[in-house]
Every structure is written in C-alpha cells, then in structure tokens.
Amino acid sequence: MHWTQIEAQYVSREFLNASRAANAYPELNGRQLPSFHEIRALSIHLHKKAGKSAQTLAGYATEKMTEIYASSHELIWNDADVGIDLPFNTA
C-alpha cells in the first residue's frame, strides 16, 4: 500500500462515468460500452501500426508488456472448407 495508491477499479469506473456523461456511445448499453483498457489497448495497437513508439505511449517499462496489451487487436481470419454447401458460400 502506498499513500497515493488508488482503488483497483477507480480508473475503469471513472472512465465509464465520463463516457456516459459525454454521451460518447449513445447506441451502446452495459457491456457493449468499450472499457478504459479496451480503448487503451486499441490506441497502443494503432500507434504501433503507424510506426510510432507504443511503449512510450503506454508507459510500460518493457516492450513485452506493451505487446501483451496490443496483441488482441489484429484479428486474422482463416477460411475453412467444412465440407458442406452453405447458402451464403461464394466460393
């Protein structure tokens, strides 16, 4: 414990309160709203993709920790032949 330490959920909760007050995502409700950590991870990913230092932005001591935060934003899809005809199959 440190005298300036904040409660574990403080940043996430206040980010949600600020998003709601700003009416940032009026069409989304509940868990549909992006969290502080999702937005932060996306910004790290976009900085890296633009060739900028994501580690500096994130403030992490190691590149490995920055990679962990950014890793879930580049989805790779693989087409798979499942052996049946589907009505929407365009192949």
Q: Where are the domains of the chain?
A: 32-73
Q: Specify the 3-state DSSP secondary structure of 66.
A: helix
Q: Which two tokens stand for residue 47?
A: 């900085």
Q: Which two tokens stand for residue 12?
A: 């996430």
What pTM was estimated for this model as a whole? 0.59
Q: What is the pLDDT along the chain (91 residues), one digit of tens a residue?
A: 788 888 888 988 999 999 999 998 899 888 888 888 888 888 888 888 888 877 887 787 888 887 777 676 665 666 777 777 766 655 5
User: Is 54 exposed, middle or buried, given 0-12, 13-18 or 19+ CB atoms closer than 10 A?
Assistant: buried
